[in-house]
Structure 1
Amino acid sequence: MAKITAAEVNKLRKSTGAGMMDCKNALVEADGDFDKAVEILRKKGQKVAAKRADRESSEGAVIAKVNDSNAKGVIVSLNCETDFVAKNEKFVELANDIAELALNCNSKEELLDAELNGLKVSEKLIEQTGVIGEKIEIGDFRTLEAPFVGSYIHAGNKIATLVGLSAQVEGAETAAKDVAMQAAAMNPVALDEAGVDQETIDKEIEIAKDQLRAEGKPEEMLENIAKGKLKRFFKDNTLVNQDFIKDSKQSVAQYVKSVNKDLTIVGFERVALS
C-alpha cells in the first residue's frame, strides 16, 4: 500500500474542496493515484446527489455580476438545503465563481456546460454535493443587457437585482445602484404599466370590485372606481412609478431624470430566496 503524505492530501483537498479525512481515505483507496482519488470523490458526490435529489434546496446565495463594459449583467442563485451551508465562505466563493462564468453564458444549460477548474459546472456541483453533503443546484439564472447595467446584492446574499439604463452617462453608476436597491426593497411586479400581464390586471380589478361591493357601492359605479384603484396598484407596484425610497417626494422615474434629463430605466431583474 502506497504511503500517503500530508502534501498529497493537501493537494487533493485544494483541488476538490473535500475534507482532509475524505481526501486521505480517497488516496488510500486509490493507492496514492491522484486522478483515481479525484474520481472516487466525484463518485461519492454522485451517490450523495442521487440520495438527496428529492430534497428541497430553498436556501443559498444569490449573486449579481456586471461585465467590465457595464453592458451585460447576470444573476445566478446557487441553492442548497440549509442556511448554515449558504453562509459558508467556500459556498459563497463557489457561487461567485459560477456567476463570473455566467457573464459569458446565455442560458442555464450553457452555464452548466461551462468549464470551472477543469470540470463542467454540472460536474462541479455534483462534486461539491459530495463534499458538503447537501443538494446543491443552480436555481435561477437571469441576464440583462442595456447601454448601462448596474447591480445590487442585499446583505446575506438573499436578494440580488440588475437595472438597465438607457445610456452610459455621468451619474449612471450611482443611479443604477439606487434603482437596483429600490427593486430589491420594494419588489415591483413590472417595470411599468405595459409590463403588467393581463391576468394580474384582471385579478386586481376583481379584488377592487369585491371590496367595493362589501362597502355597499352601487354595481354601476364599480368599474370606474376599480380602474382608479388599478392606477394606485400601478403606482405602488411598477418600478418607474413607485415612490423613490431615498426621496418619497419623487417617483423612481423622476429621480433618474434628475440625474440626466434623457435617462430612462429600460429593464430590471430581481431574484430572491424565500
Structure 2
Amino acid sequence: MLTIHASKQETITLNDKEFFFLAGIIGSDRLLGVEDPFVGYLTEEIAVEWEKTKQSLLSKQYLIQEEGGELSIPPEVFSRVAIAGLAERACWLKYENQDSAFEGYLHVTDERVIQVCRSDEDNRCYMLSELGTIDQTCDQLVEDLALSDQNWGDIPALLLSRKEFGDIYTSVTEHSCDDISDRLARLTDDAEGSIALAKCMKNKVSSGELQLSIWNGISWESQNAAFIVNESMNWLLRMSLEGDQDWLTAAPATKEQFRHMLLMWLKQ
C-alpha cells in the first residue's frame, strides 16, 4: 500500500452505501471500482436504506446536520469524495512484491491525488487517503513497486503476440529459463532481449498492472501497461486493449524512465 501521508487527517473509511450516498450528494454517478450497492432494491427499500446510511454518516461525523436541517459534508471528507467521484483522471493499480501487495485506484487532479482501496478487514468498505501532489505520489510509487536501480543500457523493445506472451507468463513456473527464452526468441527474432526478459520473468521480485483512464465527458478511455522486475532489471509492458488486436511490446526501463512515464500519464 502507498505510504505517503501528505494529509493531516486520518484515512477516511466508508462502506459502499456511505460512499454512494456522499458521491450522490456531490453529483457523481461514476465511481470507479465501486459496485452500486442498491442494484435490485425497490424504490421504497432504497428510501429506507438511504435513511440508515445518512444516520450512519451522521454518527461518524462524516455528515453534519446544520441547525436549519441542511446537511453538509466536512471539508476533509468532501474533498476526498469529490476527487474520487469527479476527477477526470484515474489510475487503477495492482502490484505484488516481496514486501507488500496493493490493488486500488488513484484519482488525480492537478493539485492532489486521492487513493481509494478496499479495506483488508471488510471487503464492503473503502479507505480514502490523500497522497499529496502528483510528483510526490510518483516518487513514492516507484519505491513501493520495488523497481531495480540498475541500468542495462540499450536493449531494443520486443514486439510479440499478447496472447502468446500471456500463455508464456502464466506457465513460467513450469519451464526453465532456457525454454522460456527460446520460445520468446522464436516469437521476436531477438535472442539477447529474449534471454534478458526470460531471466526477469523467471526471477521476478515485483510485478503489477496499471490502467490509466481519462473521462471524455461521456465514458472512460483507457490504456494499459504492466511491469516485471527482478533484482537487476525492469521491463515495461504495453498491450492492445481492443478485442480484435493482439500485440504487446516489452521494453527495459530504468526507475527514472518508469517514474517519467507515470508522471506523464497522471499529468495528461
TM-score category by the smaller chain? under 0.3
* Greater Rg over alpha carbons, structure: 1
1 or 2, which has the higher strand percentage?
2
Q: TM-score, normalised by structure 2?
A: 0.22
Q: TM-score, normalised by structure 1?
A: 0.22
1 or 2, which has the higher helix percentage?
1
